[in-house]
Chains A and B, each alone.
Chain A
């Protein structure tokens, strides 16, 4: 399992290295790609070396990703992805942050879901976080973030 993961990951890196090499040596104008070529060659050598080691089963470090870890992270990563890549722009930073923060907190907070106290705590933490973000970025730093609903 672990060896297979090492092989796949170093294989992907090797493919990227080949792709970078290919682009660097084919794109014009050549002088703009001089430095990328030097890097690409080192990149490729090191990537192939790592890949060879992984194939031989001699990757000594890194624990890979267990099935439980993958299952645990899936909902969080999905929410985070929607939040960063879509909601932040479409709904506005503050609205999307409030929603995403609350959902993530409810997903990963170990306190019992059946008690009302848990939910009050979660709501308060969410409000506190968004209030601090608003005070810092909109108040002090005057950063104009994308607006959607409300603020």
Chain B
């Protein structure tokens, strides 16, 4: 309970000022397409040069928490996930916004982010040593199976046609192989110089989600017959809390899955939301409602992606290994003040480590308060005329995809992928499985190649990939997941007949 003692440091005027500034700034940056939490935190590092260690880290902690949650704003209102963490939020969140329930969706997302986030930080405070062992247990073979498990989620994302979902996943995995091969440094499928850097995930996300919407708005024409001004419903905040508590199952599935997956170095943050969404759907009696603007979908996804924040820092704080790109940037923020994370961090520098963690707790609460405040007027975005919306989203797509690496190549990739996605959507394909393939492809490949190399030096691939408790558990989960998807698909068909 040592951490309570250090709350004093968080409540000094300057710390509170940084916390509030970091939270509001983080929400805005997170809501901007193209600005992932990693980039937002990296942008803040120069500011921390001029601050003391404690203050610098309080700022970074607040910004990290709120950018992850802020991504939900553009995911819900514009259907553009700010980062891979928010992909699952678009599925039901944007559907809700189209029904005029944007304010409700945003409130639900910030409240469940708060619960997930606080749970994650408590895990970090109380269970760090245990969790560190768990994080290390995942070697190349396990990460490979985890990626395969991620692919089975496609069955849940794609309600129309599983074959087309899998095909989209394959296209995504193929797109991920474009560019220099990460292990051997060989150029693959580079048939235009813009592709030298490969297909980067953030520009791809912007293109695949934003551009089809823009073109659809064009296609509906100047005098859109279907277009009626959406009535934005006000939603009392008390109702939002009640709704979240009513959906306890989705909230706890999201929180627990998110914190477990968040721990795993190199995978966590990107797929926590999607896997939790899949689990929440499988356990829900109202499966058919998912994807049509069902509150459980938003709650599970957003609880998961903030629950992952705390555990994702475990490998960094105990072993000095950053488990995610954002953690790597935070490591820089620590090193710059001469603080070396490690098992004795809390003994050597308690005056820095605890306020940092506490600031993430307070940051969650501030994020929820400001987020709900923003929700009340941000939901009006749905009332913006389609013509203004189309032009704005197009402009944002250009600036956002350029800003990631200041590269026109990324912009061209974004535009080409987006146009392709527009046509694919017209024929029953959807963006989420494709993006999932794009994320999981490199994880599966690099761990497979690395695992095979280790296996060849040891007892061969069979024993390396198929033995050991963790491998067998993961394979079993993969089999169950596939079996369950096939069974529910078949029973759904029977019902239809």
Instruction: Give yes or no for direct A-B contact (beta carbon below 8 Å).
Output: yes
Chain A residues within CB distance 8 Å of chain B: 5-6, 9-10, 13, 20, 23, 27, 29, 31-36, 39-40, 42-43, 46-47, 49-50, 53, 59-65, 68-70, 72-73, 75-77, 80-81, 83-85, 88-89, 93, 97, 100-101, 104-105, 107-110, 125, 129, 133, 136-137, 141, 143-146
A47 to B218, CA, bound (A): 29
A129 to B390, CA, bound (A): 12
Min CB distance B166 to A, Å, is: 6
Chain A residues positioned under 8 Å from B167 (CB to CB): 13, 43, 46-47, 50
Q: Is the CB of A84 within 8 A of B415?
A: yes
Chain A residues positioned under 8 Å from B298 (CB to CB): none
Chain A residues positioned under 8 Å from B243 (CB to CB): none
5 contacts between A and B (CB under 8 A): A35-B448, A39-B177, A62-B428, A97-B398, A108-B221
Q: Is the CB of B398 within 8 A of A73?
A: no
Q: Is the CB of A105 within 8 A of B174?
A: no
The 8 A CB mask of B388-431 against A (1 = contact, 0 = none) is 10111011101100110010100110010001000111111100
Which one of B163, B174, B215, B412 contacts A43 once the chains associate, using CB atoms below 8 Å? B174
Chain B residues positioned under 8 Å from A62 (CB to CB): 160, 425-429
Q: Is the CB of A32 within 8 A of B188?
A: yes
Chain B residues positioned under 8 Å from A9 (CB to CB): 423-424, 426-427
Main secondary structure of the interface of B (DSSP, over half): helix
Min CB distance B227 to A, Å, is: 8
Of all chain B residues, the one with the shortest Cβ separation from A103 is B391
Of all chain B residues, the one with the shortest Cβ separation from A106 is B387
Min CB distance B26 to A, Å, is: 13
Chain B residues positioned under 8 Å from A63 (CB to CB): 426
User: At the interface, yes or no: B337 with Cβ under 8 Å from chain A?
Assistant: no
Chain A residues positioned under 8 Å from B220 (CB to CB): 69, 72
Which one of A36, A68, A88, A108 contacts B177 once the chains associate, using CB atoms below 8 Å? A36
A104 with B188: in contact, given A59-B427, A59-B428, A136-B32 (CB under 8 Å)? Answer: no
Chain A residues positioned under 8 Å from B454 (CB to CB): none
Chain A residues positioned under 8 Å from B174 (CB to CB): 20, 36, 39-40, 43
Of all chain B residues, the one with the shortest Cβ separation from A31 is B184
Chain B residues positioned under 8 Å from A42 (CB to CB): 166, 170
Q: Is the CB of B170 within 8 A of A60?
A: no
A81 to B418, CA, bound (A): 12
Chain A residues positioned under 8 Å from B385 (CB to CB): 109-110
Min CB distance A80 to B, Å, is: 6
Q: Is the CB of B218 within 8 A of A77?
A: yes
Q: Is the CB of B188 within 8 A of A36?
A: yes
Q: Is the CB of A50 within 8 A of B164?
A: yes
Chain B residues positioned under 8 Å from A108 (CB to CB): 217-218, 221-222, 386-387, 390-391
A64 to B391, CA, bound (A): 24
User: At the interface, yes or no: B219 with Cβ under 8 Å from chain A?
Assistant: yes
Q: Is the CB of B408 within 8 A of A133?
A: no
User: At the interface, yes or no: B126 with Cβ under 8 Å from chain A?
Assistant: no
A72 with B219: in contact, given A35-B445, A136-B32 (CB under 8 Å)? Answer: yes
